[in-house]
Amino acid sequence: MSVPTAAATRTICAQLPVLGRDVTVPLVTGGTVAYAALDYAASAPALQRVWDDVAAYAPYYGSVHRGAGYLSQLSTDLFENARRTVTEFLDCRPDDQLVFTRSTTDSLNLLARALPADCQVLVFETEHHASLLPWKDARVTYLDAPRTPRQAVETLERALAARDPHGPALVCVTGASNVTGELWPVRELAAAAHAHGARIVLDAAQLAPHHPVSVRDLDVDWVAFSGHKLYAPFGAGVLAGRADWLVAADPYLAGGGASRKVTRREDGGVDVEWHESAARHEAGSPNVIGAYAIASACKALTEAGFENLVAREERLIAGVRAGLAEVPQVKVLSLFGDDAPRVGVISFVVEGWNSSHFAAALSAEYGIGVRDGLFCAHPLVRTLLGGDPQTQGECGAPEAAPGERSLNAIRVSFGAGTPDEHVERFVTAVRELVSDGAKWRYRTEDGRCVPAV
């Protein structure tokens, strides 16, 4: 298998252009510069193709599953075709259900509401809050952060062996960390779960935009992801997988669309017959534009070829990591070590800098957008930084003024559509800020580090 050349991978970037690539922003030092959006792990920019597809459909927008008119019929077909497209993208099993939700967080909360009685949930402390927190009504076992993929599997196997083997159990695990970008051994974790009679749900929010996700190949029971991570920021997400727990559960929301038949009783109440299809958990008017946008992104990524996308991204990752390694004051955060495979998500701290101060300088002086804070993964970041994982912190907000140490980090993230120049400018900016310091003064305002006026 030949490895794509740098020129070829730049062509891939051109084939998947994103909105905002021509936006210029002002610098505090004067002038403007093309904005380098390097915060894909929070929300990826919309693919140009997604935007164009949505714009072409917009005049034909109509109610879904509700009307006899042409636009309603067209919108219903579009919505259900989007479901089939995303089902194919995820390589789901024939009897799986795919529910359109608002986001990964919404998807996992939906699944949490559908858990059988007395279900035990096993989740690593390293999870994003979207997959760490929804299980409050279940018996939850939180697993310590592993330091190797093998240790992750062994930790899960021990916990599963110690549980009550007669009750239902669910394992929740990420596919790629939103903090370190490291890939988790999903297939091996799924095998361990099934060997002990448990099911597994995959949080693919950070995995799906970067690598192919096959429900069948990974042998997971459910997968969840967000459109806004997948270059389709129109307020939709996905939960796909086994139907039985979803059909047995009360609807996530009670209302029109979820109900098949509603009748009055003689005692004055109502009897409801709920749908057993995905509609059971899609009450209300569906977000047809959000679903169509996700389907459009799935088609674009599939046609571009994940093999090519992964090869290009690995080259960008290698360049960023090599550049950061040349700056002794920079420490890259990692659970599994430098050689662990990862997606385009890298978090780090800089000696002598408060992370919010450093991120503010990247934005104000270089036009580079990154993220700083705890990334809605507080226990993991605090563990990686040597702090107490039990300590509470405000999500995304600095705890110290410029120049003071804080248990926060800086995250740079990128993917399809990221120009080479943006990551090269980022590496140069890190090197210059560390060696020369900031060119501007900064202050803390409303919990954020901002340029002083």
Interval 425-452: pLDDT, tens: 999 999 999 999 999 999 988 888 999 9
- Indicate whether 254 pLDDT > 90: yes
Judge whether 376 counts as a catalytic residue. yes
Q: What pLDDT was estimated at residue 137?
A: 85
Selecting among 13, 376, 395, 449, the annotated active-site residue is 376
Segment 356-365, tens digit of pLDDT: 999 999 999 9
Mean pLDDT computed over every residue of the chain: 92
pLDDT at residue 397 in the model: 44
pLDDT at residue 398, rounded to an integer:
47
- Poorest-pLDDT segment among 111-115, 198-202, 406-410: 406-410
Residue 395 has a pLDDT of 41
Report pLDDT for 122.
98
Mean per-residue pLDDT, 138-156: 96
User: How high is the pLDDT of residue 393?
Assistant: 44
Instruction: Tell whether the model's pLDDT for residue 5 goes beyond 50.
Output: no
**pLDDT reported for residue 11:** 54
Q: Please tell me the predicted confidence (pLDDT) of residue 67.
A: 81
The reported pLDDT for the residue numbered 389 is 53
Please say if the pLDDT value at position 412 is more than 80: yes
The yes-or-no verdict on residue 390 having pLDDT over 70 is no
Better pLDDT: 388 or 372 = 372
Residue 1 has pLDDT above 50, yes or no: no
Specify the pLDDT at position 189. Answer: 98
CA–CA dist 141, 164 (Å, integer): 12
If you average pLDDT over each of 11-20, 396-405, 408-417, which comes out highest?
A: 408-417
Average pLDDT over residues 272-279: 92
Residue 44 has pLDDT above 60, yes or no: yes
Most confident among 62-76, 113-127, 256-270 (mean pLDDT): 113-127
Confidence of residue 12 (pLDDT cuts 50, 70, 90): low
Report the percent of the chain where pLDDT is more than 70.
Answer: 92
What are the pLDDT digits (tens) for 194-213?
999 999 999 999 999 999 99
Q: What is the pLDDT of residue 8?
A: 46
Kindly tell me if the per-residue pLDDT of 317 is higher than 70: yes
pLDDT at 165: 81
pLDDT digits (tens, 9 = 90+) for 201-244: 999 999 999 999 999 999 999 999 999 999 999 999 999 999 99
Task: Return the pLDDT at 66.
Answer: 77
What is the pLDDT at residue 448?
85
